Chain A
Amino acid sequence: MKNNWNNAIYGHVKASIHGQLTEPFINLCVKRNIAIWDIKRRNKTTIVCSLYIKDISKIKPLLKQTDCKIRFIDKKGFPFFMRRLLNRTGIIIGLMCAILIITFLSNVVWRIDVKGADPRLETKIRQLLKQQHLKVGAINFVVPSTEVIETNLSAKLPKVTWIGVSKDGTTYHIDVVQKKLPKKQKETGPRNLVAAKKAIIHRLFVEKGQPMVQDDQFVKKGQLLVSGIIGNENDPKFISSKGQVFGETWYQTTTKVPLNTTYETFSGQEYTKHYLKMNKWKCLIWGFFNSSYKHEKKDSVEKQIHFLFWDLPLSYVKETHRQVHQSNRVLSPQQALDEGEKAAQRRLKSKLPSKSEIVKSTIESKKVEKGILYLRHRFVVYENIAVPKTFNSKKERVKLKKKAKKEKQNQQ
């Protein structure tokens, strides 16, 4: 049985055979082992059949014997297909170009992933890779092997414990394990702690240095809180004082609370439109039939289209329209007061250092004007008011000596 693959690969022809002795012709073909198939009779003197090209030369004497004439109707199979293809150079050129482009593109580095490195190290790694010709868009032949890159990188990056470079098709993966060193504490010179603002001292936590104030004492801005000079007057030592001084401080704030607010919530309904943009001209390419909502918000993302390495003046824009529900909220006086206080506290806390706490809040005044509640608050806050202030130990020593001399003179 002839299978279709054979027919497709070897070229065969459909031919009509005209003559009185068509049946003897078939029998002769069979006897000579010439494949003949799909025989159909057209009329009394003509049959149509299929034959292989390689057998055509063998047929000629048989045709003479049986006094038949052959006419080819159709040519089929791979050899004929190739011949037809060769006649269309455009297709061939296109095919070659496609193959070339694909081979070229598959030999280009498309992506470099750096994992496990902080941003600073990552940029450094990328710079080093660039020096070794490994960058996005580089051709693979230029890029050294992964082992070489690995050794080069680990030699140049002392901060890295281990670095692994692997290639995955057109992507390079760089896995980094960074050394983690404990932070060194800065050596600080001799210094005092002074008040950052006026306050009443609440609590003192002094690690180093000599406290110069007591609890519940009023201090002015810049006043010495903890001194860095210890020891007696004749033999002073200068250290870097350290500690926290919590003082009671006061703040006044004004807040506005609108009694009537309209706010918007997303309903979750959305549709997207896609555009092609060239300079200022936008052309809708997808999402023609989306009806717009009554209230909506628009987000658009624009992406430049690249061709190989060049940026085209074309860009793709995706617009997402989200439906928005507008609703109204009316606050009662009490609610408004609560809201106002919360907002004021929140705003104050964001300005204060982290360990501070708001102890007391009082409303100084409130008034409503044009639907807006104006509030004035007074807050009592405990916060760290200590600020380091360095001093020159030599000068201090001289000062102390002078002071001692004066005291001696006074005594005399």
Chain B
Amino acid sequence: MRKWQHNVKKWFVNHSEMPVDVVMDLPRITIIGQLHIYIENHKGVLSFSNEELRLAMKQGQLLVKGSGFVLKNILPEEILLEGVIKNVLFIDE
């Protein structure tokens, strides 16, 4: 059933002008140089330190690595991280 739903969504995205992140509830990540990273559609902070931010996603996790991290702002759906960003990793479970 779920797979079928997923397939419908994929078809819908391909055959309409709707953005993928809205339809399929995927994270939208905006990176400005190495300075900022702006993540929408996250599902909570798993761990946070000066060198690492681990976020829960709908599927799997997102890992951001770098140094001097400051969580500038955090809202239910969005997060703004400041610092020097080096890696952005998607971790599948």
Binding site for B on A (CB under 8 A): 1-2, 22-23, 26-27, 29-31, 33, 36-41, 44, 47, 49
Contact = CB atoms under 8 A, between A and B. Distances in A.
8 contacts: A26-B71, A30-B44, A30-B74, A30-B76, A37-B73, A38-B71, A39-B48, A39-B71
Contact of B72 (A27, A29, A31, A37): A37
A27 B73 contact: no
Contacts of A27: 44-45
B49 interface: yes
Given A30-B76, A41-B50, A23 B70 contact: no
Nearest to A41: B49
Given A27-B44, A39-B70, 14 more contacts: A1-B73, A1-B80, A2-B73, A26-B45, A26-B71, A27-B45, A30-B75, A33-B76, A37-B71, A38-B70, A39-B71, A39-B74, A44-B49, A49-B71
B48 A41 contact: yes
Contacts of B74: 26, 29-30, 36-37, 39
Nearest to A42: B50
B46 interface: yes
A120 to B, nearest CB: 77
A44 B45 CA distance: 15
A37 B70 CA distance: 9
Contacts of B16: none
B7 to A, nearest CB: 32
Contacts of B49: 41, 44
B47 interface: yes
A412 B85 CA distance: 150
Interface in B43-93: 44-50, 69-76, 80
A59 to B, nearest CB: 14
Contact of A40 (B47, B70, B73, B76): B70
A41 B81 CA distance: 13
A103 to B, nearest CB: 44
Contacts of A33: 76
Nearest to B46: A23
A198 to B, nearest CB: 110
Contacts of A22: 48
B47 A23 contact: yes
Given A26-B45, A27-B44, A30-B44, A40 B72 contact: no
A244 B44 CA distance: 117
Contact of A38 (B44, B47, B48, B72): B72
- From A22, A31, A36, A40, residue with most partner B Cβ within 10 Å: A40
A27 B74 CA distance: 9
Contacts of B72: 37-38
Interface string B16-51: 000000000000000000000000000011111110
A27 B45 CA distance: 6
Nearest to B79: A30
A23 B45 contact: yes
B50 A40 contact: yes
B48 A23 contact: yes
A36 B48 CA distance: 14
A26 B76 contact: no
B35 to A, nearest CB: 15
A22 B44 CA distance: 12
Contacts of B69: 40-41
A22 B53 CA distance: 13
Nearest to B76: A30
Contacts of B73: 1-2, 37
Contacts of B80: 1
Contacts of A44: 49
A47 B45 CA distance: 14
Nearest to B43: A27
A14 to B, nearest CB: 13
A320 to B, nearest CB: 60
A367 to B, nearest CB: 101
A40 B45 CA distance: 13
A1 B44 CA distance: 18
- From A29, A33, A37, residue with most partner B Cβ within 10 Å: A37
B52 to A, nearest CB: 9
A31 B77 CA distance: 10
A159 B74 CA distance: 82
- From A26, A30, A38, residue with most partner B Cβ within 10 Å: A30
